[in-house]
Structure 1
Amino acid sequence: MRATFWLGRIAGVRVGVHWSVAVIFAVIALGLGAERLPDAYPGRGALGYTLLALLAGLLFWASLLVHELAHALVARRSGVPVDEITLWLLGGATRTRREAPDPGSEFRIAAAGPATSLGLGVLFTALTWLLVAADAGPLVEVAAWLAVINFLLALFNAFPAAPLDGGRVLRAALWRRSGDRPRATAQTSTAGQAFGWLLVVVGLVVFLWTGAFGAVWLALVGWFVAGAAALEGQASRTRQLLAGVPVRESMTPGPATVPADETVGGLLSETGPALDHPALPVVGRDGTPVGLVTREMLRNVPVEKHRTLTVAEIMVPLDEVRTTPPDGDLAELLPSIDPGPEHRVLVIDRNGRPDGGNGRAPRLLGIVSPSDVNRTISRLTGGHRQPAG
């Protein structure tokens, strides 16, 4: 799930929002602003109900963000790098660069989210009682709704089925018992698909029986859970297939590059690689890799800035780009390879040519994209293996 826009960084983690978040705000505004609040506290005015409903929506998404930040912070403490968090229609997603290294880390990372939501539920419950004592009117209903929604979020995520947090807790337990992570993933994936389709059936039956809109939402969540669980199982099988394959066998060697000091206008006016590739490594004057720029980034620059803005000013800096040595395990890259061109992986030899001093400058050897990985999978499933390129 790619973010539509970015909010910035919180605790060092980049946070983005997908456009589908607007759907949730509309649902909350309708459910709270047009029904629940007027029924509980009539005669307060439509504008007041709407503003309170929007406040509830913002606090709901803030709760989801705190839930995901708990995952991210525990992951980083466990040695798992975190790239970003994206909030979208059905919640949030924390994107890491690799999986947990051991069952204990997997358990702590997974359990952090539901535990945080449970804590927020307790916090909003206490706030509800304080607002009742202060006779705060409709604010009581907002706080009570947030308490219930956080308790439900903790309960739902704790269900032992992939891709939910409870499924990852179960996988950690099965992994610890058997020592076989792929097998544990397959088991939780099966449980997740069964749970997801159960929600779909229950949601559709309840909707046909009662006409309740919330039942459609339940079916939609179930459909997502079943699909995500199936994808998780497929990803596990792919990692097994690619385990032990060095990155150099999959990368596109000698990729086209662009100089960091080139202007955007100068680059776009060329007939070379700028318009032929969705993502390009950026190099300094000595050929050392310094970042990554995408075609979309270049084209989003206003025309009036084409002559003055350089590639270095709009690129993703190297410390935010996924990099790997040529002998790295391709399977370890899979969690960080997404379809977006900004998620290309640069293959860098950190012990490259002499840098003129006592050290050695890193040297760009290649780039890895989803199509490179798919090509490697096709070779392996075809029964033979050969170097890429």
Structure 2
Amino acid sequence: MRVGLHWSVLVIVALVTVALANGRFPDAHPGHSAVAYWSLAVLTAVVFLISLLAHELAHAVVARRNAVQVEGITLWMLGGAARLRGEAPSPAAEMRIAGVGPLTSLLAGAVLAGAAVGLHTLHASGLVVEAVAWLAAINVLLAVFNALPAAPLDGGRLLRAYLWHRTGDRLRATSGASAAGRALGWFMVLIGFADVLFAGDLSGLWPALIGWFLIAAATAEARQAQIQGALDGVQVSRVMTRDPVTVQGTATLSDFLAEGPFGAYRHSAFPVVAADGSVAGLVTVRRVNAEAPQARTHTTVSDVMYPLGEVVTAAPEDPVLDLLPRLQENSTHRALVLDHGRLVGILAVADITRALAWPTPAAHPRHDGTRWHRPAA
């Protein structure tokens, strides 16, 4: 499992360090050296990041135990995120995956609080006790905030699991949790700006910033759920462009350019075939354009193409939903559709976008084995 650090992590480390070294530590325990304050502040900020990582690792471990693939974890300025590939198979699994995060933070807070009491009993340095107590409090605060019933927080996942269990409709449940997330976000934005405007407290910008993040994330999550609902059960063969125009790998770039954009080559990416007719890769206009004009007369398409091993491939019967993340991650944003090695189509993110733009006919309720629900598409 890959663990990444966004550059904004440096911002939160710096803010926590400065706030503790210049504020909380010297105010609570004056008389220590600046080196002591700053060293302990840096250490406390690092332990705080470790507690965030533990929160996300708990999500990832439980997700894997519930048959949900985990791509990795990214820590950033406002916390962390475990990148899950796919959805929980049931409301109960969703509840377990979402609930373990706040529980982990709450447990960490309780352990750290006990450690602070123990250190105080043993007459340890008051400055150290203060740092451990702060870590305990921030972890409890993290647990409480994440438990709020609003997407994309863990509490929003719990709310979605409950609504999913009650209605049997995952899309409707996601819409409800996203609406709660936007409501909480706007509340925090208003409270934050009111604090700045009427009380003159610039710290109100923090809840406003977090609220704005919640609004954006909840809106994006609702949109993602709509896409998943619309593409549920749709196969690649229904969306792909069939029998795409191909380019011979032996053709020079000059010959290729002579055929476009008003000739045979009207698109911006083309499958490349070898002399025996097999698929060799994919060439894009951008790759061709990057080649120096004076070299195009003797440079072949094969020289600048993406080899087949670097291109996303799919079968006609593959679900579009499973293919979409791979398309978004790949630099070409396209997939070659192969049927037992034979090229039958090409699929781009734009093809899926066009398909989503079409209105869907009204669907009739169907039974999913446990509850009746109305499919999104």
Deviates more, 1:16-25 or 1:48-57: 48-57
- Find the partner of 1:130 among 114, 118, 131: 118
Aligned residue in 1 for 2:51? 63
- Find the partner of 1:116 among 99, 104, 110: 104
Q: What do the CA deviations read for 1:189-231 (whole angstroms, capped 9, x no partner)?
A: 1111111100111111122233334321111001111111111
- Find the partner of 2:318 among 320, 328, 340: 328
Asked if structure 2 preserves the Cα contact closer than 8 Å seen for 1:244 and 1:329, the reply is: yes
Aligned residue in 1 for 2:252? none
Aligned residue in 1 for 2:235? 246
Partner letter of residue 198 of structure 1? F
Aligned residue in 2 for 1:210? 199
Aligned residue in 1 for 2:28? 40
Partner letter of residue 317 of structure 2? D
Aligned residue in 2 for 1:166? 155
Partner letter of residue 98 of structure 1? G
Asked if structure 2 preserves the Cα contact closer than 8 Å seen for 1:64 and 1:92, the reply is: yes
1:368 deviates by 5.6
Asked if structure 2 preserves the Cα contact closer than 8 Å seen for 1:17 and 1:86, the reply is: yes
Q: What do the CA deviations read for 1:124-175 (whole angstroms, capped 9, x no partner)?
A: 1111112212422311111111111111111011111111111111111111
Aligned residue in 1 for 2:364? none
Which of the pair has more CA radius of gyration?
2
CA distance 1:367–1:162, change in 2 (3 Å):
farther
Query: Aligned Cα RMSD in Å?
Result: 3.9
Deviates more, 1:204-213 or 1:151-160: 204-213
Aligned residue in 2 for 1:142? 131
Partner letter of residue 373 of structure 1? I
- Find the partner of 1:156 among 145, 151, 155: 145
Q: How many residues align?
A: 322
| Contiguous gaps of at least 5 residues in structure 1 | 1-12, 258-270, 282-286, 290-294, 296-314, 354-362, 384-389
CA distance in 1, matches of 2:313, 2:98: 26
Aligned residue in 1 for 2:209? 220
1:342 deviates by 5.9
CA distance 1:51–1:288, change in 2 (3 Å):
farther
Partner letter of residue 35 of structure 2? L
1:47 deviates by 2.2
Give the secondary-structure state (helix, strand or coil) at the position aligned to 1:92: strand
Q: What do the CA deviations read for 1:284-323 (whole angstroms, capped 9, x no partner)?
A: xxx899xxxxx9xxxxxxxxxxxxxxxxxxx9x99xx987
- Find the partner of 2:67 among 79, 85, 96: 79
Deviates more, 1:217-226 or 1:123-132: 123-132
Aligned residue in 2 for 1:376? 355
TM-score w.r.t. the length of structure 2 is 0.73
CA distance 1:330–1:63, change in 2 (3 Å):
same
Aligned residue in 2 for 1:303? none
TM-score w.r.t. the length of structure 1 is 0.71
Instruction: Describe how 1:241-280 pairs up with structure 2 within 5 A.
Output: 241-251=230-240
Partner letter of residue 51 of structure 1? S
Aligned residue in 2 for 1:301? none
- Find the partner of 1:24 among 2, 6, 12: 12
Aligned residue in 2 for 1:341? 330
Give the secondary-structure state (helix, strand or coil) at the position aligned to 1:60: helix
Asked if structure 1 preserves the Cα contact closer than 8 Å seen for 2:327 and 2:334, the reply is: no
1:178 deviates by 1.0
Deviates more, 1:69-78 or 1:234-243: 234-243
Aligned residue in 2 for 1:99? 87
Identical amino acids, percent of aligned pairs:
44
CA distance 1:234–1:39, change in 2 (3 Å):
same
CA distance in 2, matches of 1:19, 1:120: 25
CA distance in 2, matches of 1:110, 1:116: 11
CA distance in 2, matches of 1:207, 1:17: 31
Asked if structure 1 preserves the Cα contact closer than 8 Å seen for 2:151 and 2:180, the reply is: yes
Aligned residue in 2 for 1:195? 184
Give the secondary-structure state (helix, strand or coil) at the position aligned to 2:212: helix
Deviates more, 1:82-91 or 1:43-52: 43-52
Asked if structure 1 preserves the Cα contact closer than 8 Å seen for 2:68 and 2:84, the reply is: yes
| Contiguous gaps of at least 5 residues in structure 2 | 248-255, 258-266, 273-277, 281-285, 287-306, 362-377
Asked if structure 2 preserves the Cα contact closer than 8 Å seen for 1:97 and 1:333, the reply is: no
1:347 deviates by 6.4
Partner letter of residue 350 of structure 2? S
CA distance in 2, matches of 1:211, 1:108: 42
Structure 2 residue 7 is the aligned partner of structure 1 residue 14: no
CA distance in 2, matches of 1:366, 1:33: 61
Q: What do the CA deviations read for 1:218-258 (whole angstroms, capped 9, x no partner)?
A: 1100111111111111222222222232123445788999x
Asked if structure 2 preserves the Cα contact closer than 8 Å seen for 1:197 and 1:223, the reply is: yes
Aligned residue in 1 for 2:293? none
Aligned residue in 2 for 1:177? 166
Give the secondary-structure state (helix, strand or coil) at the position aligned to 1:99: coil
Give the secondary-structure state (helix, strand or coil) at the position aligned to 1:163: coil
Asked if structure 2 preserves the Cα contact closer than 8 Å seen for 1:68 and 1:92, the reply is: yes
CA distance 1:372–1:125, change in 2 (3 Å):
farther
Asked if structure 2 preserves the Cα contact closer than 8 Å seen for 1:203 and 1:217, the reply is: yes
